[in-house]
Amino acid sequence: MPRFIGAFFIPIIMKISSIIFCASFFAAVLYSCSENKQPATVQQHNEFADSNDASCSQETIKDPNNAKPMALMMRQLAANADSMKQQILRGEQLDSTRYPFIRFYLVEPTDPNVLEPQFYENARLFQEAYTELFKHPKEQSKYHNLVIGKCINCHENYCSGPLKRIRKLLIQ
């Protein structure tokens, strides 16, 4: 008789457990979707920005959390340049297979207005300097600084935000 009772109640307990779990999950999702997660300062900033949209002639694009492909590639270039700097300072020779050229100028930028002839010329000059860096193993510091100089020249005209970080990549 006890086996029969256990066999009878186990499916009922399982169904009740499933119902409780589903109800809890649904309540949690409903609660999280209805809650306003922005702090008051962010809300105030958004309201201020919305009220000033009509007076702005050009939208300023700044969103580090939703970076465009070019910004992501630039970050990789910066990481590579820092790694190359450290390698040069240790007296090690750079290898172009470890640091292949990244064709950042072929992908979507954060601000599409930068895609003009001067930008592409800057990219070409950067690529030339980058290629030369690996051809001169005895003068890597000099050529590394020439590459970083090309970055600085371009960023003085387009996207000046990372200039401080870029200047730190120079070898003194």
Count, in order, helices (H) and strands (E) of the chain. 6, 0
- The pLDDT, as a whole number, for residue 62 is 57
Cβ-proximal residues to 125 (8 Å cutoff; 6+ apart), any chain:
150, 153
Give the C-alpha distances (Å, rounded to integers) separating 167 from 49, 61, 72, 84: 32, 23, 19, 14
Asked if the model's pLDDT at residue 11 lies above 60, the reply is: yes
What pLDDT is recorded for position 172? 93
Per-domain boundaries in the chain = 2-55, 64-167
- pLDDT reported for residue 44: 45
Report the percent of the chain where pLDDT is more than 70: 66
pLDDT tens figures, 83-107: 999 999 999 999 999 999 999 999 9
CB 155 within 8 A of CB 166: yes
Instruction: Give the number of other CB atoms < 10 A from CB of residue 80.
Output: 17
- Structure tokens given for 82: 């820092």
What rounded mean pLDDT belongs to the chain? Answer: 80
Q: What percent of the chain has pLDDT over 90?
A: 60
Reply yes or no on whether the pLDDT at 122 is more than 70.
Answer: yes
Q: Quick one: pLDDT band at residue 13, thresholds 50, 70, 90?
A: confident
Q: What is the structure's pLDDT at 16? A: 75
**Per-residue model confidence as pLDDT tens digits over 30-83:** 555 554 554 444 444 444 444 444 433 445 555 556 899 999 999 999 999 999
Given a contact cutoff of 8 angstroms between Cβ atoms, the answer to whether 117 and 165 are in contact is no
**pLDDT over 80 (residue 161):** yes
pLDDT value at 29 more than 80: no
Quick check: 78 and 167 in contact, CB under 8 A? no
Contacts of 3 (CB under 8 A, 6+ apart): none
Mean pLDDT of 20-32: 60
3-state secondary structure of 129: helix
Contacts of 139 (CB under 8 A, 6+ apart): none
120-135 average pLDDT score? 97
Q: What pLDDT sits at residue 113? A: 93
